[in-house]
Each structure stands twice: as structure tokens, then as C-alpha cells.
A and B are shown apart, each in its own frame.
Chain A
Amino acid sequence: MKPSLTPRAGTTARRPLLARLLTTDHHHLGIAYLLLALVSVVIGTTLSLHMRIHLTWPQVPLERILPGSYLPIVTIHGTIMLFFVLTTAPQSGFGNLVLPAQLGTRRMALPLINALGFWITALALLVLCASSLTEAGAPLSGWTAYPPLSAVASAGPGQGPGMDLWLLSIALFGIGATLSAINTLVTILRGRCTGMTWDRMPLTVWGWFTAALLSLLAFSVLLAAITLLLCDRHLGTSFFVPTGDLVNGVLHGAGGHGDGSPLLWLHLFWFFGHPEVYIAILPGMGLTSMLLANFARRRVFAYGTMVATTLLIGLLGILVWGHHMFVAGLSPFAISAFSISTVAIAVPASAKVLSWLATVWRSHPRYTTPMLFALGFVSLFITGGLTGPILAQPMLDQYLHNTYFVVAHFHLIMAMAGIFGVFAATYYWFPLITARDGRPGPLLAEKLGRWHFWCTFLGAYATFLPMHLAGLAGQPRHYSQLTGIPNHAGELMARLYPLNSFITHAALFLAASQLLFLANLVRTLRHGAPAADNPWDATTLEWHPDLLPGAPEQEGSAPIAVYRAPCFYLGDEGETFLPQWQSDATDAANQE
């Protein structure tokens, strides 16, 4: 057994620092991804608080925030949160920590590729940070980087080297994500243990599988789009620069003769961009199904349908990109098609909500912290999801596009629901994250966890629900100044000032609540007592004693096998349960 190619999870033997840094152990890589996401989320949250405070109290001199420096904050906030938090934590972080064990295997199929994916992702984060520190100015085109401005390097301070580094960072991230997606797919295809048939795979695995498929298809299109954009910026082409593109009095795009189309970038970008938001949310959906079932001690309602809806959401997710472009000048026929396919997503999404509700309906669940966060995920998913079909109406979108209504929609359904999924996973799998030498680590403190949940839950709603109202009133996105404006717009903004002030207070409260989580983290890591082998009485394989990180691989012991689908509970309250790995023979012996 060569240790470098076939590492075992969580081995903590003392090795040289370099060897430990260059580990291909998926458990360590998972933790590394989570730490990367934690650093990113701290940066991203700080930036969002900067924005809120500047919008509400522009006189507070945090630093000089001019219109030209407000947009970079928006850009870096969006980029870092979507890519480095909502994509890495659920898909790569927990995927590495839990996926192999849930399949009954001790290692990833392609450990080297997996490690390479992490290091490229880490490099992408560094390049992103560098992009905001260039002397020429941080990128300010938002996470969508629309041309023609982004296609002309000389268009302004934010479109120069900072933009190049930003594009490089996203390209690197795409390569890293593609590599880790391939590893995920091959592990699921080839690494399942005996008896782990497709219909017995936990829904979390289905979530990771679908998200990995989407990553594979979407990120390469983004890479192509970035290649075209970089050619426009530096090689004198005009893929996205229209004819007669006059920027700062200078004609651009092959000497003013281009026939390029900014709309082409929108198509290519959103072909990637829309699947990207599903990559962020699908693992959370799978986890929510499994957690609700486990704590309600029920089977997942309509398991097969849940698998089908996961795949269907993925499929529809790559067919709806045009709904981001309703006001960009699409043909009305294309708009109708995209509107219909977007509304169609409501069908599998509602099926999921129905299954979640039916799973817990009239059960007597144990309201543990992970369960609370899973229920919070359902709540936020419904609230955020209801505004989806509204925005999918081209007529309504004409009015609501680029208002705070959109901000509210995607923050509730993607950012908040996604983060609730991450928190549910963290509280649920914490003993696995901290496991050493085949023994589970401590559980996060329940009491503090519940406080954290309720504060976060209230804070999330208090922050993002009022944004719907602001958006309906016409408050635009991306504006660095909402106070001190003359004329009618100023009157409108003055009327909305109390609302905005409330939102800022709520956002500060929401961010402060996360200190409870950090306190819990530090306290548990210092003083926590090790948890039981299977603390949540779970039925899935990640709690198998032989699959815990660092568990010794005994020669001659029975190979890990799976005997049934997950979520098998007996009795009215599910007192008895059969984990997937327990054979019928041992079951009969237990029941005697």
C-alpha cells in the first residue's frame, strides 16, 4: 500500500510539515476547504456590513467609500460568497469529509486530482484577494462582469489589471471545481461498497452527484467565455465589443469595426451562472431530506421521487439561463421559452418541499440544532422560492429587475438557505470533522447552538424580508448612495430610509449572532468531550465505526457492505433503527 497514492482518512501520524501540507487525504482536504470557506465568509460578511453601514450612515468614515470604491465591495462580496463559500463549503468541504464514507469507501477514487483541485482553489482565492489590491483599482463589474465595459481594459480604473486578475481567479476556480467534480463523479461511479446500489444511495450523495455533473458542464463554458473576454481585452478581438463602442471618447473593438455582441457574454455567462446557484444549493437539499428523516425517525417521503427531482432540478437548471436577461434585449419568443422553463422548476422544487413537510408531518422530531437548521432551510427555501415564479414573469421582471426585490430573492433562497445547509452539516457532522484515530470528536454545544440558530433565523428574515418592500418601492441595486439625493428619487429614498436603517440594524444583528457560533466552535474544540459512536442514531454509513477518519483498516475483517436503503426506523418513535451496514443476521440477534 503506497501511502502517497492511497491515503487513509484522517491518519494523524507525525509526518514532516511539507508531507502534511501536500496530503491527499480527503478528510484533511475537507477541513482545508472548510477553513478556506470560513476565511472567505469572514471577508465577505465584513464587506457586506461595510455596504450596509455606508448606505445607512454615509457620514461614518469607515474608509473613503466613493461610487468607484463601493462597486468593488459589491463585486468582491458577491464573488467570494458565491464561489468561495457557497460552492466550496457544501460541495467540496463536506463532499470531501463525508462523501466517501457515505458510499462505504475509505478513500477517494482520484486522491491526487482531488488535492490538486484544492490547491488550485486556494490559489484562486489568493488571486482574487490580489485583484482587489492592485494599484489600478479593484474590479467593479459585479460577479457577472458584463461587457462592453469589462471587455475594454482601458475603460476605467476598475477594468484594468484588477479585472484581469479577477478573471484569472474565476478561471482558476473553475479548473479546480472541474477537477474536484470529476473526482466526485468517479468516486460515486466506481467507489461504492458492496450492496450500495443506486437506489440505496443517501440523498446527500445524489445532491453531490448532480452538483458535480452541473460543475462539469457549466464551468467549462465559463472558461470559454473568459477566454473570449481576455482575447477582447488584450488581443484586439471584438467578440463582445459592439460596433462603434465609444468608451471615454475612444472607439474600441477592432478599430470600431467589431460586430461583437455583449448579449453573447450574457448567454455564455448565465449558461454557467444559473447552474452555479444550483451547485450551491443541491447538496443542502439532499442533506435537509436526510436530516429531517433522521430526527423525525421516519423514512424520507417519496425517496425515488426525491432522487428524480434532484436530477430534474439539475437538468432544468441548465435550460433557464435566459431569465437573467429579460431586460437585456432578448427576442420575445426566447423570453417566453425561458419564462416557461423557469416556472417549470417550481414543480420539482415544490415536490421537494412537499416531501420535507410530509416527512416531518405529525412526527415528534428531536429538535436538535442540526434539525433546527434543516427546518430553517425548508422555511427559507419556501420564502425565497415563492418570489422565484414572480421574477420569472417577464412583465414583472421589467419592473423588479435590478431592484432590492432581486437581492432579497437570491439572498433568501441561495445565500441564507445555503448557509443554513452548511450550518446544519457543521452541527450534524462535527464529530466527524474533529474525529481522530477512529474516534469521533466532540459535538458542538446544543444550548449555544440553539441560541445561534434562533438569532440567525430571526436575523436572516429581519434582514432580507424588508428588502422585498424596498425593491417593490423601486429601490435600485448597486447604488452607493441612498441618502442626500435631490428630486423625486430623493423623496422616495427618504421615505425608505427607516426601512433601510432597520435592514442595517438587522444585518449587524445577524453578523453578530455568528459570534455565538465561533464561541461554540472554540469552546467545543477546547473543552468538548468526545461524542458517542453514532450520536444521532443515524442510519447512513459515515457513522460506521470502521469508516471514521483514521480508523485502522483491519486485515481480514468483514468488508463493509450495505444491506438496505437509509432511514430505516422501527417502532412508533423510531426507537430501534437499522443502519445501512447492519446485516439481517445481526439484526435478528439484536432483537432476540
Chain B
Amino acid sequence: MPATITPIDVERDRKRRPDDFDHGGGKRPPVDHDKRTGGGGDGENWGNRPQGSRGPRERLTRYRLFVFFGLAAVLMFFAAIVSAFFVQQSSSHFDAYNRYINEWLPTAIPPIIWLNTAVLLLSSVTIEIARQRMFQEVHALEEWLGLGKPTSERAMPWLAATVVLGLLFLTGQWVAWNQLHVQHVFMSSNPSSHFFFLITGAHAAHLFLGVAGLLAALVSLYAARQLEVRQIMVDCVAWYWHSMGLFWVFLFVLLAFFQ
């Protein structure tokens, strides 16, 4: 027997494996040449499939993400305005007689805004009902079998109710503005009224966009043939609507109690 042992083939020909180098992080990455974790990761292995066929909710989640990122941007928009609110509330000046003057005169909230808030919260309930009705499996299955459009038919009234409630809220805000105008409180009156009209106006503009989205969703219930498209429309508008309701609650508390 020779004294030396020839190493077996595998060891002698040991090539550098693709995963055999480190990133400089000190830790060797695991050997994972069949690591199948695509963009998905919902635990159902949809990520194993090529894009475009990663499960029934692939497009839905994309559009939801679009709405959520968009809402993050809107949140930053309102955060900037709210921080300006606090800055201006605490700013002041000395007049010619060296008197300390703060121009901020708290704006009294017209009582109708309480009612508007209730209407907006109610609209959140109606749109949530509409949203859930778009996703009920029994009805989705019925539609898949070609038995009409039960999901859309059942969601439509609630969606329409949300449009009505949304318009009611916007009208209510307009009435509140008019009530303030009657009391000679205008946007240019003083720092507090600047912010009252700006915040209600900016929120109303966003809600107006939401009403437009609702109308588009209503149209899509009739115009779109794919159930998926209708689900995406209603679902995205619903999330946007909920968030506008939530933002309004915060803005309302700010205007009502932090003046």
C-alpha cells in the first residue's frame, strides 16, 4: 500500500463554487443555488412561478402597494402642513410699542363639521361593505362559472351610497366655510383661519379625488369584464377612502382641540 492516499475526485477537482466567495461581510453566504424566493413571499410559493402568473392577487397587491406608497406621500404632505400649523401658532412679533403680539385668534369650529365627520366615518363603513362584497368567494366562484356578476351587483348599492355620503361631506364642508364667511372669518383673516381653510381645503381636494375614484370604480363595475379589474378598482379606492377618513379624524382633532 502506498503511504499517500490520493484524494477522491470531488476533493481534488474542487472548483470554486458559485456561492463560494464572501461579500466581505465575514459570513459565508449559504449555498443556495436553488433558492426560490422571488418577489412574492406570501408562503404559498407563488414566487416560484414566472411573473404574471404569481397567483390571483398578483396585480391586486401591486396596485394596493401603489395606493399605500401614494398615501405615504399624502401623509408627508399633511405632516408638512401640520408642522407649519404648530410653527405659526407659536410665532409672534414685537410691535412698535415693544408689545409682544401673537396674531393667532383660534377659529371656532362650525358645529356642522361634527356632523360631516360622522358622515365621513359612516361612508368608510359603506365602502368597506362594498369592498368585502367584491371578494366573497361564493359569488366570485359563481361569476367564474358564468352566472352573471353577483359580486358587482351586491357591491354597487354600497359604492353608490359612499359616493352620496362623500358628496354630502364635501357639501357640509362648503356649508361650514359659508358659515364662517357669514361671521366674517375669511382665509386671510388671521393665522388660525389661514390654516382652517387650508387644511379643510386640502383635505377636500384629496377627497374630491377619492370621489372621482369612486365614480371610476362604479363605471368599472359595468365596463370592466374581468372580475380582477373590478376588484382592484374597488379595493384601491376603498383603502384610499379609509385613509382620507383617518387623516380627517386627525386633522379635525387638530382644528377642534389644538387651536
- A189 pairs with B194, CB closer than 8 A: no
- B178 cross-chain contacts in A, Cβ below 8 A: none
- B194 cross-chain contacts in A, Cβ below 8 A: 231, 237-239
- Per-position binary interface string of chain B over residues 17-55, scored 1 when its CB falls under 8 Å from any chain A CB and 0 otherwise: 111010111000100010111111000000111111000
- Per-position binary interface string of chain A over residues 2-31, scored 1 when its CB falls under 8 Å from any chain B CB and 0 otherwise: 000010000000000000000000000000
Q: Any chain A CB within 8 A of the CB of B87?
A: yes
* Chain B min CB distance to A272 (Å): 9
Choose the segment among B72-80, B145-153, B158-166, B167-175 that binds chain A (4+ C-beta atoms closer than 8 Å).
B72-80
* Chain B min CB distance to A216 (Å): 5
| Chain A residue, CB-CB nearest to B52 | A6
- A237 pairs with B38, CB closer than 8 A: no
Q: Any chain B CB within 8 A of the CB of A50?
A: no
Q: Any chain B CB within 8 A of the CB of A185?
A: yes
Q: Any chain A CB within 8 A of the CB of B247?
A: no
Q: Any chain A CB within 8 A of the CB of B16?
A: yes
- A190 cross-chain contacts in B, Cβ below 8 A: 39-40, 58, 61-62, 65
Given known pairs A190-B61, A587-B18, the reply for A110 and B88 (CB within 8 Å) is no
Cα–Cα, bound, A193→B49 (Å): 9
Cα–Cα, bound, A337→B56 (Å): 50
- B24 pairs with A110, CB closer than 8 A: no
Cα–Cα, bound, A228→B194 (Å): 10
Cα–Cα, bound, A413→B114 (Å): 53
- A107 cross-chain contacts in B, Cβ below 8 A: 51
Choose the segment among B4-12, B120-128, B130-138, B185-193 that binds chain A (4+ C-beta atoms closer than 8 Å).
B185-193
Number of interface residues of B (CB under 8 A): 59
Cα–Cα, bound, A189→B91 (Å): 43
| Chain A residue, CB-CB nearest to B229 | A5
Given known pairs A195-B37, A259-B91, the reply for A264 and B24 (CB within 8 Å) is no
Cα–Cα, bound, A227→B17 (Å): 57
Cα–Cα, bound, A182→B64 (Å): 11
- B40 cross-chain contacts in A, Cβ below 8 A: 190
- A254 cross-chain contacts in B, Cβ below 8 A: 188-190
- Per-position binary interface string of chain B over residues 67-94, scored 1 when its CB falls under 8 Å from any chain A CB and 0 otherwise: 0011011101111110010011001110
- A216 pairs with B25, CB closer than 8 A: no
- A268 pairs with B25, CB closer than 8 A: no
- B73 pairs with A239, CB closer than 8 A: no
* Chain A min CB distance to B11 (Å): 16
A residues 186-240 touching B (CB-CB < 8 Å): 186, 189-197, 199, 216-217, 219-221, 223-225, 227-228, 231, 235-239
Q: Any chain B CB within 8 A of the CB of A497?
A: no
* Chain B min CB distance to A531 (Å): 26
Q: Any chain A CB within 8 A of the CB of B222?
A: no
- B24 pairs with A221, CB closer than 8 A: no
Cα–Cα, bound, A584→B19 (Å): 10
Q: Which of A109, A189, A243, A264 contacts B84 (CB 8 A)?
A: A264
- A264 pairs with B88, CB closer than 8 A: yes
Q: Which of A216, A304, A587 contacts B73 (CB 8 A)?
A: A216
Cα–Cα, bound, A8→B49 (Å): 19
* Chain B min CB distance to A565 (Å): 7
Cα–Cα, bound, A583→B78 (Å): 49
| Chain B residue, CB-CB nearest to A181 | B69
Q: Which of B15, B65, B92, B186 contacts A186 (CB 8 A)?
A: B65
Q: Any chain B CB within 8 A of the CB of A319?
A: no
Given known pairs A6-B52, A194-B48, the reply for A110 and B18 (CB within 8 Å) is no
For A225, A237, A238, A570, the residue with the greatest tally of chain B CB atoms inside 10 Å of its CB is A237
- B61 cross-chain contacts in A, Cβ below 8 A: 190
- B80 cross-chain contacts in A, Cβ below 8 A: 220-221, 224-225, 268, 271
- B198 cross-chain contacts in A, Cβ below 8 A: 227-228, 231, 237
B residues 79-122 touching A (CB-CB < 8 Å): 79-81, 84, 87-88, 91-93, 101-104
* Chain A min CB distance to B212 (Å): 15
Cα–Cα, bound, A258→B190 (Å): 7
- A302 pairs with B93, CB closer than 8 A: no
- B37 pairs with A197, CB closer than 8 A: yes
Supply 25 A–B pairs (Cβ within 8 Å), ascending by A: A105-B51, A106-B51, A182-B69, A186-B66, A189-B39, A194-B37, A195-B38, A220-B74, A220-B77, A228-B81, A228-B198, A231-B187, A236-B188, A239-B88, A239-B194, A257-B103, A259-B103, A259-B104, A261-B88, A299-B23, A299-B24, A302-B24, A303-B25, A559-B50, A563-B33
Beyond known contacts A185-B69, A235-B188: 10 more, CB 8 A cutoff? A185-B65, A195-B35, A224-B76, A228-B81, A239-B88, A243-B93, A257-B190, A258-B103, A268-B84, A301-B24
